[in-house]
Amino acid sequence: MNIHELDTPAVLIDIDTLGRNLSGMANYCRTHNLTLRPHTKTHKIPQVARLQLQYGAPGITVAKLSEAEVMADAGINDILIVYPLWGEKKWMRLAELAKRVRISVAMDSLQVATGISRVAKAAGVEVGIRLEFDTGLQRCGLSANEESIVIAKKIIALPNLRWEGISLYPGHIMGNRKIREQDIPLENAKLDKLYALFDSAGIPYPLVSGGNTPAAFQSHQFHGVTEIRPGTYIFNDRNTVDAESAAYSDCAVTVIATVVSTSVPGKAVIDAGSKTLSADTLLSGERKYFGYIQDRPELILHDLSEEHGHLIVPGDSHIEVGDQLRVIPNHVCPCINLHDRVFVVSGEKVVDRWDVAARGKVT
């Protein structure tokens, strides 16, 4: 089947671009002796996770327990939940999961660690733990100070927890951009301060995990980092292009859409709005518009309603009802999460269809 025979809108994954993205990141990590534990929140597709394992990842990262359950059901047996889990129900589910796969959790509080330890002990299982430190994002994470080391000691001493090391988010950087060369020494000074605290307390830290997509290829420049968890690199999107971490030719996901109205002069409407592309604004650069029109860069996707993409059409550009366009979304992760299935394509040929099995798994 050709992509133009699909009912629109539809999410297309270019398998050739995907392959290049897989091997590019795998090669980088191999060269620099970094463990790659890709974040699967970007795709939520077991088939893609398995490709990532085939390209050398020992395990995967997820954001939610319910995502971990889907991935475990799909046969993936080494999963990091990089999210603090709270509550008896979640701890029970975690313990069940730990019976069948190697599972680890990142956290930043004694409360969460105590709950997990207690339930893991009752279930007779072991859960890997990583302690999250805040290196600038100010979202989750302990501060690099003596008080946090006291908490770390208490957590590591809890039963049925397997101490794995330090987790940083999003990696060692702040925000969605590459690190300027001149800022790297400052970032390293922060990391060194953190390691010194662990060292003087005599606490070993087998791994230091960081890394998001924009700064992924800079990871080897940061002191002590042993593992990275990029997610978006697998597909890329307008954000990663705008952050100068990828080119449009590295974007594996497009949404194919049809022009449904040209009645308003100078405008056109496509059948892909915020319920198809997500309403995410651009994180860097010009922070405008809602996607990039592949091969038709003169068309500006300036606004989205729920089911309408609003295009500005310049005077010398011709567009008519029935034309099909391919949109590179601003942020591919929430875009994929809106869809039950995606179509795998090579050129214009549809070669497979994958279910987004972990879509909407919020708990």
Which residues lie near a second copy (CB under 8 A)?
7-10, 41, 63-64, 83-87, 89-90, 108-109, 111-112, 132, 134, 138-143, 258-264, 267, 269, 271-272, 274-276, 278-281, 305-308, 310, 320-322, 333-334, 337-340, 359-360, 362-363
Nearer to a second copy by Cβ, of 17 and 278: the residue is 278
The 3-state DSSP class for residue 94 equals helix
Nearer to a second copy by Cβ, of 11 and 216: the residue is 11
Instruction: Kindly state the smallest distance separating residue 159's Cβ from a second copy, in Å.
Output: 20
Angle at 37 between CA 199 and CA 167, to 5 degrees: 30
Nearer to a second copy by Cβ, of 55 and 339: the residue is 339
How do beta strands 227-228 and 207-210 pair? parallel
Q: For the chain, give the longest Cα–Cα distance.
A: 71
β-bridge partners, 267: 312
Instruction: Kindly state the smallest distance separating residue 54's Cβ from a second copy, in Å.
Output: 26
φ, ψ of residue 281 in degrees (nearest 5): -85, 165
Instruction: Kindly state the smallest distance separating residue 193's Cβ from a second copy, in Å.
Output: 17
How do beta strands 267-270 and 78-81 pair? unpaired
Nearer to a second copy by Cβ, of 37 and 361: the residue is 361
DSSP secondary structure string, 223-264? TT--EE---GGGT--HHHHHTTSS-GGG--EEEEEEEEE--S
How do beta strands 324-329 and 291-293 pair? antiparallel
Nearer to a second copy by Cβ, of 75 and 87: the residue is 87
The 3-state DSSP class for residue 266 equals coil
How do beta strands 267-270 and 309-312 pair? antiparallel
Nearer to a second copy by Cβ, of 87 and 124: the residue is 87
Give residue for tokens 């292009």: 241
Instruction: Kindly state the smallest distance separating residue 333's Cβ from a second copy, in Å.
Output: 6
Nearer to a second copy by Cβ, of 34 and 166: the residue is 166
Instruction: Kindly state the smallest distance separating residue 90's Cβ from a second copy, in Å.
Output: 7
Instruction: Kindly state the smallest distance separating residue 88's Cβ from a second copy, in Å.
Output: 10
Report the C-alpha gap between 169 and 138 in whole angstroms. Answer: 9
Question: Would you state the structure tokens that stand for residue 118, as one six-digit string?
Answer: 């207690």
Instruction: Kindly state the smallest distance separating residue 173's Cβ from a second copy, in Å.
Output: 14
Instruction: Kindly state the smallest distance separating residue 100's Cβ from a second copy, in Å.
Output: 20
Nearer to a second copy by Cβ, of 69 and 164: the residue is 69
Report the C-alpha gap between 107 and 340 in whole angstroms. Answer: 30
